[in-house]
Structure 1
Amino acid sequence: MSDAVLLEIDDGIALVTFNRPDKLNALNYDLIDCLMAALDRIETDAAVRAVILTGAGERAFSAGADIHEFAGSVRRGRDTAVRDFVRRGQAMTARLEAFRKPVIAAVNGLAFGGGCEITEAVHLAIASERARFAKPEIDLGMPPTFGGTQRLPRLVGRKRALELLLTGDPFSPQRALEIGLVNRVVTHDVLLPAARELAARIVRHSPLAVGGIITAVTRGLNMGIGEGLQVESEQFAALVPTSDLGEDINAWIERRPPSYSGR
């Protein structure tokens, strides 16, 4: 892994930092590839129970795609641009959305373009009062390509999403909270502690149950209610033979804290 992404693991929580502060943490291909590699490592580490994403420096979570690199792909033609840029970015946001460990964005500054699409894709988000959001792809004569035309309307509603997508106008963290893009807005100095506190409230529960809930919600959003209920049933059924479910039930009956084996 290059230093485009930093990974720190402490007390069951992985802190993943986009590390291009001089470029406002723009998402070049190397950074995206490094993020995917970090997720591979986190996924197989049973000691890691939650993930926090943030940006290095004081100015940006991520200002979006690296336009200079992307422009080179465009100049090489449609097939190259789709392969190198669109598929890479969509794979990243799809991976974050479907990740079975909770992913929390700690949005510390600008979250424009791809940075906003990451915020849309992750499970939970806390924004600093200094955060600023925008969907500025329209200014480049293109739609969002990392899933923003699909996830944003599902999160905030069609008309709200279209206003943001068609104008490209930036909006405040308070507006992001109002429309449901983030869960909470906090003062800048407590952003990471607030993200860690939220993660801690989740990881006290069974990791198998957490993963099942994430999977059921993520898959069910793109299904009819009948199909979604079937996914919910499947996720419950998968837990029945595990020790975690029995331990949780016994702990509740015995009025004691549960102890999980994760099997």
Structure 2
Amino acid sequence: MTDLVLVERSDAIVTLILNRPEKLNALNYALIDSLLEILDVVELDDAIRAVILTGAGDKAFSAGGDIHEFSQSVARGPDAALQDFVARGQRLTARLEAFRKPVIAAVNGLAYGGGCEITEAVPLAIASDRAIFAKPEINLGMPPTFGGTQRLPRLAGRKRALELLLTGDAFSPERALELGLVNQMVAHADLLPAAHDLARRILRHSPLAAASILTAVTRGINQSIAEGLLIEGEQFSRMVPTADLREGLDAWITRRAPRYPGNWAAHAAKG
């Protein structure tokens, strides 16, 4: 089962690779379950501080849900389809969206349907110049089911998202960048190095502060500004008694690099 998701470790960064290249890394039920299990392990490993998510092979990040498997659930009726497919896919995207460590999607090729929805859900994403995106669910006579009707309008705006959702047309990585679906586009050969570079720039800082920022943004983005500010204050108050905040303040006052566990700048200073 774990062969469906390959795990590669480089210091404090783990790369998770969707591994069904012969099926364009389509998200069958076993792959989703495997990825969720691995995320549980990664979250509890304090030595891992950032996650890169990409697809195996040269063609696809993920083509989305496994239609052959999904169609069998549909044949069993609405309850089965909701339980097997919709709830499972929404668990995955919600888990990625609320993960308390930075997750960077390295979109290395085709990202359709659920693959696009993963890209929408993760906090950060980089696209190869070979990437191509689409929300093609309407071609199957259905809406997106892993959060695409909700997250894409929040990222791109209602009208621009509806054009993509209602036509099913593919769009380029340049368009994905313009819409706010990805943070940057790079040459294909530079994709994983760019993802690692972004991860390392985050790892210079307090892991607790990073987790607080991720939580505040994820919980607050769909609230009113007043409710969001309460969440922000709550996250700050959780940092006040921590060694990370004391270290950050002391480092700033004494004009030195902070020394957090696994901190890249601290390693460089020691070297």
Tell me the TM-score normalised to structure 1 length: 0.98
- Find the aligned partners of 1:104 and 1:248 in 2 and give their Cα distance: 25
**Shift in Å at residue 11 of structure 1?**
1.2
Q: Does 1:15 align with 2:15?
A: yes
State the match for 1:109 in structure 2.
109
State the match for 1:36 in structure 2.
36
Q: Does 1:236 align with 2:267?
A: no
Tell me the TM-score normalised to structure 2 length: 0.96
- Find the aligned partners of 2:261 and 2:193 in 1 and give their Cα distance: 27
State the match for 1:49 in structure 2.
49
- Find the aligned partners of 1:245 and 1:131 in 2 and give their Cα distance: 39
Q: Secondary structure at the match of 1:68?
A: helix
- Find the aligned partners of 2:40 and 2:135 in 1 and give their Cα distance: 28
- Find the aligned partners of 2:192 and 2:2 in 1 and give their Cα distance: 23
State the match for 1:129 in structure 2.
129
Q: Is the CA contact 1:244–1:261 (under 8 Å) kept in the aligned structure 2? A: no
The RMSD of aligned alpha carbons is: 0.8
Q: Deviations over 1:141-160 (max 9, x none)?
A: 00000000000000010000
- Find the aligned partners of 1:98 and 1:161 in 2 and give their Cα distance: 22
Q: Deviations over 1:19-47 (max 9, x none)?
A: 00000000000000010011011000000
State the match for 1:221 in structure 2.
221
Q: Deviations over 1:122-172 (max 9, x none)?
A: 000000000000000000000000000000000010000000000000000
Consecutive unaligned residues in structure 2, runs of 5 or more: 263-271
- Find the aligned partners of 2:158 and 2:169 in 1 and give their Cα distance: 16
Q: Secondary structure at the match of 1:198?
A: helix
State the match for 1:253 in structure 2.
253
State the match for 2:86 in structure 1.
86
Change (3 A) 1:7 1:159: same
**Shift in Å at residue 261 of structure 1?**
4.9
State the match for 2:168 in structure 1.
168
Letter in structure 2 aligned against 1:244: D
Letter in structure 1 aligned against 2:152: L
Change (3 A) 1:202 1:135: same
Letter in structure 2 aligned against 1:258: P
- Find the aligned partners of 1:24 and 1:261 in 2 and give their Cα distance: 38
Which stretch of the first structure deviates more once superposed, 16-25 or 250-259? 250-259
- Find the aligned partners of 1:11 and 1:2 in 2 and give their Cα distance: 21
Letter in structure 2 aligned against 1:97: E
State the match for 2:269 in structure 1.
none
State the match for 2:268 in structure 1.
none
Q: Deviations over 1:195-220 (max 9, x none)?
A: 00000000110000000000000111
- Find the aligned partners of 2:238 and 2:2 in 1 and give their Cα distance: 37
Q: Is the CA contact 1:243–1:261 (under 8 Å) kept in the aligned structure 2? A: no
**Shift in Å at residue 260 of structure 1?**
2.0
- Find the aligned partners of 2:243 and 2:259 in 1 and give their Cα distance: 10
Identity of aligned residues (%): 71
- Find the aligned partners of 1:68 and 1:203 in 2 and give their Cα distance: 41
**Shift in Å at residue 8 of structure 1?**
1.3
Which stretch of the first structure deviates more once superposed, 253-262 or 95-104? 253-262
**Shift in Å at residue 257 of structure 1?**
1.1
Structure 1 outlier segments of 4+, above 3 Å: none
- Find the aligned partners of 1:137 and 1:54 in 2 and give their Cα distance: 22
Q: How many residues get paired?
A: 262
Letter in structure 2 aligned against 1:21: P
- Find the aligned partners of 1:48 and 1:104 in 2 and give their Cα distance: 14
- Find the aligned partners of 1:155 and 1:108 in 2 and give their Cα distance: 21
